[in-house]
């Protein structure tokens, strides 16, 4: 019996209409759709995005538990356990789709298990999706870069010191996973003479409670919050 293939599929930032044609085709034609969750019975955000626009009538949907501890070592272990679960289906010749928010290559849990599954001799493929910061920049109608400007993409988790370094060195900074750090990052901007008007908040893009706009100090922002900070604005003459 031939082995099945694992597909890591980026579903975009939240709007189901931003799902690519390739992603839709593969999800509908593969045998199994893995729903990555923090605990059994949950509906992942990625799954809720694809469900309204794909036909799952012939697809087996499984939960794939992948905890969020913030510890990289834990993620490799979660990847091994999840990989073993997926291999059960691949060894039966079944193709498996695993959906993930945004793009698969950007802070995605899929990459932890992809290496493990591939190392066990199974074929894998990555299907890119639209990253949240690209979707957010489009919503806000702002360029991420212009001319010879540079762009840094950093996570704010665990008080990442690279946020400060990015603000010092780059024209444009995208801070991901920033929901709990907005106030702290505003203070870092003030220390560097960067006005709060240079920050655009991208929260829950494509979801019912979407917010795209200027920062409102004191407001609480959820986990799916990205900040776009543009130190220098260019205007046409």
CATH code of the domain covering residue 91: 3.40.1010.10
Q: What are phi and psi for residue 125, nearest 5 degrees? A: -145, 140
Q: Specify the residue for token string 């999706």.
A: 129
Q: At 140, which CATH number?
A: 3.30.950.10
Q: Quick check: is 101 in a domain? A: yes
Q: In the predicted model, is pLDDT for residue 236 greater than 50?
A: no
Query: Same structural domain for residues 199 and 122?
Result: no
Q: pLDDT class for 67, splitting at 50, 70, 90?
A: low
pLDDT of residue 234: 59
| pTM score of the predicted model | 0.89
Per cent of the chain over pLDDT 90 is 62
Q: Taking residues 114-134, report their average pLDDT.
A: 95
Last residue in a domain, options 73, 93, 127: 127
140-174 pLDDT per residue, tens: 999 999 999 999 999 886 678 899 999 999 999 99
Q: Quick check: is 235 in a domain? A: no
Q: Taking residues 85-100, report their average pLDDT.
A: 97
Helix (H) or strand (E) holding 230: strand 225-230
pLDDT of residue 218: 72
Task: Give yes or no for a contact between 16 and 53, defined as CB atoms under 8 angstroms apart.
Answer: yes
Q: Taking residues 83-89, report their average pLDDT.
A: 95
Q: How is the beta sheet containing 123-127 ordered, strand by strand?
A: 60-65, 32-37, 96-100, 5-10, 123-127
More confident residue, 99 or 42: 99
Query: Same structural domain for residues 13 and 106?
Result: yes
pLDDT of residue 73: 64
Residues forming beta bridges with residue 226, ordered by sequence position: 202
Q: Quick check: is 220 in a domain? A: yes
Last residue in a domain, options 80, 95, 127: 127
Query: Same structural domain for residues 24 and 68?
Result: yes
Query: Same structural domain for residues 75 and 23?
Result: yes
Q: How far apart are CA 232 and CA 237, in angstroms?
A: 16
């Amino acid at each position: 019996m031939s082995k099945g293939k694992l597909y890591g599929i980026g579903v975009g930032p939240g709007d189901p209409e931003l799902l690519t044609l390739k992603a839709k085709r593969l999800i509908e034609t593969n045998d199994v759709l893995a729903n990555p969750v923090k605990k059994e019975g949950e509906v992942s955000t990625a799954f809720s995005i694809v469900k309204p626009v794909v036909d799952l009538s012939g697809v087996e949907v499984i939960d794939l538990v992948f905890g969020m501890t913030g510890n990289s070592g834990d993620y490799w272990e979660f990847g091994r356990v999840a990989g073993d679960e997926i291999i059960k289906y691949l060894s039966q010749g079944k193709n498996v789709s695993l959906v993930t928010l945004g793009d698969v290559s950007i802070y995605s849990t899929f990459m932890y298990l992809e290496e493990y599954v591939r190392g066990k001799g199974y074929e894998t493929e990555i299907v890119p999706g639209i990253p949240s910061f690209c979707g957010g920049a489009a919503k806000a109608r702002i360029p991420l870069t212009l001319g010879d400007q540079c762009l840094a993409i950093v996570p704010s988790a665990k008080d990442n010191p690279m946020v400060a370094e990015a603000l010092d060195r780059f024209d444009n900074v995208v801070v991901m996973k920033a929901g709990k750090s907005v106030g702290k990052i505003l203070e870092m901007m003030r220390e560097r003479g960067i006005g709060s008007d240079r920050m655009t908040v991208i929260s829950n893009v494509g979801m019912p409670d979407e917010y795209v706009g200027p920062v409102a100090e004191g407001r609480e922002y959820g986990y799916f919050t990205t900040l776009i900070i543009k130190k220098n604005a260019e205007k046409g003459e």
